[in-house]
């Protein structure tokens, strides 16, 4: 029987997770689900936790759902620990977005200055969780959703030494569905290979006959007649430059917009900033509406409103990964995992986001090899930036932080890097114990 602990259990995404477990009830012998939060999230935990209990009951299951602020009680003998916490909650994200934008620089949850600060706040917490896990559940799998998921997963594996960590994201699932829909071929009849790092990966697609369909998909999704649709609620739908994507020969992920068409995305973000409608501000209202719904004692299923959040299909990743490990299902998934030579352009010991079956012993990535030169340079810069951010987060090193800011493609180097870093360090000081 399984014990699953979820850290950040007060998240509005929790019903998504519970729905995913219920869908897989025949393959997941769950006994206990522990939702953990902190004092600041107590009310959310109680509201969404009561909703989780109703969902389980409505499904006729006898799973125990525990709500607690005691992380150690939740971790004790857990088989799987999933993480979905946000240090400083949405107010911290608002600062990550608005402070850079107030200087005319992109501010985003996981990219640029904001993403680096989310890493600074989060990495010390994940390493603390791992310290507890070493003592309380040494055999557990850590399923990390906490953003920036790539850097947090790399910190867990490489610095926390927790090899049994899988980093997850819903973005690849959306791209798989998009490809299937555009080609009119069921998703299961297509073969996908994703490679890169979290929120910065590309993919290629083949059909059952072995024909590569990538270029055709580039035409169908990003071609001159198309509207370059983004399936992500949180990313503005600015069109990529078709000729450039065609030249690349791989399908970009939605987040590549921040890099390939940075000026357009910045322009749009500044408009949102001026209206007081950056994504975190919008999400704060969505979240409030969701929690009003969750308070309804008759609501015992995931409400449609949750689709307004960027994380739809979240549970298709988390719950399927758990089911695949538990049953050695070998589901083909995209996971942030140790590179080990999968991508030859990146260090062996770094974390990459790649395709492969999930077995009882974890993710087994398909070999990718090398990137074309047009992708190689930028991914190496991004990974070097991530490694520098992680080092800064752990050591609280100002020089390393400034270096990361200087090399991050979304932060103009020089005086601006320092101004932004200093302002964000002050704004977030309560959540930066290492600095």
The residues that are catalytic are: 255
Read off the tokens for 174.
């959306």
> Is position 343 an interface residue for ligand NAD (rule: CB under 6 A)?
no
β-strand partners of 359:
362
> Is position 279 an interface residue for ligand G6P (rule: CB under 6 A)?
yes
Q: 323 Cβ partners below 8 Å, 6+ apart?
A: 24, 27, 28, 329, 331
Angle between helices 398-407 and 415-427 (to 10 degrees): 130
Contact range with ligand NAD by CB under 6 A, out of 25-33, 52-60, 83-91, 354-362: 83-91
Read off the tokens for 118.
């989310």
- 99 binds, options Mn ion, ligand NAD, ligand G6P, none, Cβ within 5 to 8 A by partner type: none
CB atoms near residue 275 (< 10 Å): 9
Read off the tokens for 154.
């790399």
CA distance 63 to 126: 27
- Of the candidates 192, 205, 256, which has an alpha carbon nearest to the alpha carbon of residue 228? 256
Query: Is 183 exposed, middle or buried, given 0-12, 13-18 or 19+ CB atoms closer than 10 A?
Result: middle
Q: Which of 85, 117, 222, 371 binds ligand NAD (CB under 6 A)?
A: 85
- Of the candidates 60, 18, 30, 25, which has an alpha carbon nearest to the alpha carbon of residue 315? 18
> Is position 335 an interface residue for Mn ion (rule: CB under 5 A)?
no
Within residues 164-183, the interface with Mn ion by CB under 5 A covers: 169
Within residues 133-162, the interface with ligand NAD by CB under 6 A covers: 145-147, 149
Within residues 232-251, the interface with ligand G6P by CB under 6 A covers: 232-234
Angle subtended at Cα 313 by Cα 312 and Cα 316, rounded to the nearest 5 degrees: 160
> Is position 90 an interface residue for ligand NAD (rule: CB under 6 A)?
yes
DSSP 185-238: S-GGGEEEEEEEETTEEEEEEEETTS-B-HHHHHHHHHSTTS------TTS--P
Q: 255 Cβ partners below 8 Å, 6+ apart?
A: 110, 111, 171, 199, 200, 235
| H or E stretch covering 400 | helix 398-407
Q: How far is the CB of 159 from Mn ion (least distance, A)?
A: 21
Within residues 92-111, the interface with ligand G6P by CB under 6 A covers: 109
Contact range with ligand G6P by CB under 6 A, out of 200-208, 295-303, 308-316, 392-400: 308-316
Angle subtended at Cα 31 by Cα 27 and Cα 34, rounded to the nearest 5 degrees: 115
Q: How far is the CB of 151 from Mn ion (least distance, A)?
A: 12
Q: Which of 98, 309, 363, 428 binds ligand G6P (CB under 6 A)?
A: 309
> Is position 385 an interface residue for Mn ion (rule: CB under 5 A)?
no
Q: Which is nearer to Mn ion, 74 or 151 (CB)?
A: 151
Site string for ligand NAD, 253-292 (x = CB under 6 A): ----------------------------------------
Q: How far is the CB of 420 from ligand NAD (least distance, A)?
A: 20
CA distance 175 to 251: 9
> Is position 317 an interface residue for ligand G6P (rule: CB under 6 A)?
no
Site string for ligand G6P, 113-152 (x = CB under 6 A): ----------------------------------x-----
Contact range with Mn ion by CB under 5 A, out of 22-30, 162-170, 239-247, 418-426: 162-170
> Is position 7 an interface residue for ligand NAD (rule: CB under 6 A)?
yes
The binding site for Mn ion (CB under 5 A) comprises 169
The binding site for ligand NAD (CB under 6 A) comprises 7-8, 10-13, 36-38, 40-41, 44, 84-87, 89-90, 125, 145-147, 149, 168-170, 311, 314
């Amino acid at each position: 029987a399984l014990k699953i602990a979820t850290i950040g259990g007060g998240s509005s995404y929790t019903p998504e997770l519970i729905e995913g477990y219920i869908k897989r009830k025949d393959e997941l012998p769950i006994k206990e689900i522990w939702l953990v939060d902190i004092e600041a999230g107590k009310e959310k935990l109680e509201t969404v936790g009561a909703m989780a209990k109703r969902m389980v009951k409505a499904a006729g299951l006898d799973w125990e759902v525990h709500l607690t602020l005691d992380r150690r009680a939740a971790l004790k003998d857990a088989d799987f620990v999933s993480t979905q916490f946000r240090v400083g909650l949405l107010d911290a994200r608002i600062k990550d977005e608005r402070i850079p934008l107030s200087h005319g620089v992109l501010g985003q949850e996981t990219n640029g200055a904001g993403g680096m600060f989310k890493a600074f706040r989060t990495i010390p917490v994940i390493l603390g969780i791992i310290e507890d896990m070493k003592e309380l559940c040494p055999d557990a799998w850590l399923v990390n959703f906490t953003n920036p998921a790539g850097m947090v997963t790399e910190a867990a594996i490489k610095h926390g030494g927790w090899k049994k960590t899988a980093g997850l994201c819903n973005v690849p699932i959306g791209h798989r569905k998009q490809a299937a829909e555009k080609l009119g071929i069921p998703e299961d009849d297509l073969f996908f290979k994703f490679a890169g790092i979290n929120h910065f990966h590309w993919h290629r697609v083949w059909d059952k006959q072995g024909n590569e369909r990538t270029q055709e998909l580039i035409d169908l999704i990003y071609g001159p007649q198309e509207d370059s649709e983004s399936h992500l609620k949180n990313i503005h739908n600015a069109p990529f430059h078709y000729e450039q994507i065609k030249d690349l020969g791989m399908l970009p992920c939605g987040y590549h917009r921040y890099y390939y068409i940075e000026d357009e995305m910045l322009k749009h973000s500044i408009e949102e900033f001026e209206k007081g409608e950056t994504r975190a501000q919008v999400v704060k209202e969505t979240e409030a509406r969701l929690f009003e719904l969750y308070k309804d004692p008759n609501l015992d299923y995931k409400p449609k409103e949750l689709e307004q959040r960027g994380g739809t299909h979240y549970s298709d990743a988390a719950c399927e990964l758990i089911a695949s490990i538990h049953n050695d299902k070998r589901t083909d998934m995209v996971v942030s995992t140790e590179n080990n030579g999968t991508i030859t352009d990146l260090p062996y010991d770094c974390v990459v986001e790649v395709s492969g079956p999930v077995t009882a012993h974890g993710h087994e990535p398909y070999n990718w090899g090398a990137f074309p030169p047009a992708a190689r340079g930028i991914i190496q810069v991004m990974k070097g930036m991530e490694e520098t951010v992680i080092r800064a987060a752990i050591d609280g090193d100002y020089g390393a932080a400034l270096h990361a800011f200087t090399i991050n493609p979304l932060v103009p180097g020089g005086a601006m890097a320092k101004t932004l870093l200093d302002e964000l360090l002050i704004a977030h000081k309560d959540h930066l114990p290492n600095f």
